[in-house]
A and B are shown apart, each in its own frame.
Chain A
Amino acid sequence: MNGILAQLPILQVVVPLFGALLAAFFRRGSTAYVVALIVSWLMPVISGLLLWQAMTTGPVSYHLGGWEPPWGIEYRIDVLSGLVLMLISAVGALIMPFAWHSVAAEVDADRQSWFYCMYLLCLTGLLGIAATGDAFNAFVFLEISSLSTYVLIALGHDRRALLAAFQYLIMGTIGATFYVIGIGLLYVTTGSLNIADIASRLPGAFVVQPHAIFAALAFIAVGLGLKLAIFPLHVWLPNAYAYAPSVVTAFLAATSTKAAIYLLIRFAYGVFGEAIDFRTLAIDEFVMVLSLAAMFVAAFVAIFQTNVKRMLAYSSVSQIGYITLGIGMANKAGLTGAIVHLVNHAMMKGALFLALGAVVFRIDSVKIDDLAGIGRRMPWTMTAFTVAGFGLVGTPGTVGFISKWFLVIGALDDSSWLLVFLIVASSLLSLVYVGRLVEVIWFRDTGPAAARASDPPPSMLVPTLMLGAAVIYFGIDTTWTAGIAERAATILLGGRG
């Protein structure tokens, strides 16, 4: 392998980074948009090639500046990170055509080039988190993506967007700092920053300094928990999603918490799992209790929201609960469920928030009462919305069913009937809020606000419909989602599955 192909792992990060610089130089919004569009359509090609390489020839390792790991920074793409890269870049590519009209309507003209600059920086950070094999490098990317996210949220029209961004900045920075403290403790105990190298040194270091390593685990878990909005560290999320520009909400809901979850899986199984048996410490049970609390409390809160964006944001917190539940189960089916739900949830929430973005574009409101009867006015948009909504419930034939299927099998492998019951029961709660939306959208008389609506222009409609179609397609053909997730789970669990 030679030439440009060997440089793919670094191109994954460098292309959007330089794209962001270019977008910042062109002060015109339309020129910046073209840059962002080209870059985000290039990314899935690179990720696809990398994932294909990881699937066929094993993990891709790239040494930055030619320095051998563990001294130099290593980019390492295995099946799991390849899948996450593919997910992030595919969502980024789908969202870009949608952004043109949506951003023009929601962001001031003189800020649009900065919007695309920040969007590309955010993409850089998220892709970097998945690509890097270096713990400190991951922190830098985490902060690149977070800082640009704060700006993207603050670009929302409502003044409450500013507060939401500030609140997220405080919580996110505490989270990132906790993560660095954890990395510092790991570095002091193992003398390495390369994730794979830390993993191989950890069992030895654990014998000498178990307390420092427990502290590192706690700091990293809480820090990433803040970033991925695990219950009860989710308080920043509803406001951030509710007041950010629509495109940003769709992008964040589909990708940014997912990158943090990826990092958590990487550390839980790839690093700490080598030295610590989570079962003896009841860490798995602790994670599962928090996940169940998220699934129920957040879904319950979602039912009573009148702002649909906020409702779906609470739904995100509850869905993240399913993912962490699978991580907590620590068996093959459960972990597969977690990874596949990470992908599936991205499709569903992407479709839902894009459809809502189209609603905002037409009627400039996300109040549930204003959506009365809007289904007859925007039939295509609302069809995608409804399909994705039923996906959240876990209806057979949608991706949500696949995720829950694996989670239920994982619970059965633990022979925990209680868990099976709770997974099904929480689906009923999501049926309540999705049902409420469906009733309002399709069966009410068209209200004055919805009467003005119509399906959005094709550039917005097509991405929404594609994500909606993906919700059904990957609910039937699971080779590319569950198949890859299962392989990743097998590798992560190693001999311990």
Chain B
Amino acid sequence: MEAIETFINHYNYVITIFLMMGGLYIVIARGNMVKKLVGLSIFQTSVYLLFITPAKILEGTAPILDPAYSVYSNPLPHVLILTAIVVGVATIALGLALTALVNDAYGSIEEDEILAKDPES
């Protein structure tokens, strides 16, 4: 019973860890450059959840001062994650641009095929 209760109380962390490991697995296991970037994106997104989850306070409202409310959510993690999202977008955009250039140069985005075309590296 206790295990189930812990699981339900922390289900958001379970989802976060699942996405984190899933994303990382895709990055490592897939040779297709676009799929690698998809995995990377999932991995990064899980971290957004990791930050946002503890910022939510039960019964808390948006952090705008108002006499009617006394409990607020923590705004700082949201701001941090806005920054992290920008970094993530830039990373994926650059990764896709590089993938397009690799496709022009090699005619493929499969890592094993590309490596076979440059035997000495």
What is the interface of chain A, defined by CB distance below 8 A to chain B? 136, 139-140, 143, 147, 150-151, 154, 159-160, 162-163, 165-166, 169-170, 173-174, 176-177, 180-181, 184, 187-188, 193, 239
Report the Cα distance A82→B98, complex, angstroms. 35
The answer to whether B43 and A174 touch across the interface, beta carbons within 8 angstroms, is yes
Say whether, besides A136-B80, A180-B84, A184-B51, A170 and B102 are in contact (CB < 8 Å).
no
B36 contact set on A, CB distance < 8 A: 170
Report the Cα distance A183→B54, complex, angstroms. 14
Report the Cα distance A33→B83, complex, angstroms. 30
The answer to whether B106 and A159 touch across the interface, beta carbons within 8 angstroms, is yes
Contact of B105 among A147, A159, A188 (CB under 8 A): A159
The answer to whether B43 and A162 touch across the interface, beta carbons within 8 angstroms, is no
B94 contact set on A, CB distance < 8 A: 147, 150-151, 169
Say whether, besides A143-B87, A151-B94, A170 and B27 are in contact (CB < 8 Å).
yes
The answer to whether A143 and B91 touch across the interface, beta carbons within 8 angstroms, is yes
B70 contact set on A, CB distance < 8 A: none
By beta carbon, the residue of chain A nearest B87 is A143
Q: How far is the CB of A141 from chain B (nearest CB, A)?
A: 11
B95 CB within 8 Å of chain A: yes
Contact of B47 among A170, A184, A193 (CB under 8 A): A184
Contact of B98 among A160, A162, A184 (CB under 8 A): A162
Q: How far is the CB of B62 from chain A (nearest CB, A)?
A: 20
Q: B40-65 toward A: CB 8 Å interface, digit per residue (1/0)?
A: 10011001001100100000000000
Q: In B62-121, which residues have CB < 8 Å from any A CB? A: 76-77, 80, 83-84, 87, 90-91, 94-95, 98-99, 101-102, 105-106, 114, 118, 121
A177 contact set on B, CB distance < 8 A: 43-44, 47
- 10 closest Cβ pairs, A-B complex: A159-B105, A143-B87, A166-B98, A162-B102, A184-B51, A162-B101, A188-B54, A184-B50, A173-B91, A169-B95
The answer to whether B50 and A181 touch across the interface, beta carbons within 8 angstroms, is yes
24 A-B pairs with C-beta separation under 8 A = A136-B80, A143-B87, A147-B90, A147-B91, A154-B98, A154-B101, A159-B102, A163-B102, A163-B121, A166-B33, A166-B98, A169-B94, A169-B98, A170-B36, A170-B95, A174-B40, A177-B44, A180-B47, A181-B47, A184-B47, A184-B50, A187-B77, A188-B54, A193-B76
By beta carbon, the residue of chain B nearest A143 is B87
Say whether, besides A166-B95, A181-B50, A239 and B121 are in contact (CB < 8 Å).
yes
Q: How far is the CB of A162 from chain B (nearest CB, A)?
A: 5
A162-B105, A169-B95, A180-B51 are known; give 17 further A-B pairs, CB within 8 A. Answer: A136-B80, A140-B87, A143-B87, A150-B94, A154-B101, A163-B114, A163-B118, A166-B99, A169-B91, A177-B44, A177-B47, A180-B47, A181-B20, A184-B50, A184-B51, A187-B77, A239-B121
Report the Cα distance A152→B64, complex, angstroms. 43
Contact of A140 among B20, B83, B91, B98 (CB under 8 A): B83
By beta carbon, the residue of chain B nearest A142 is B87
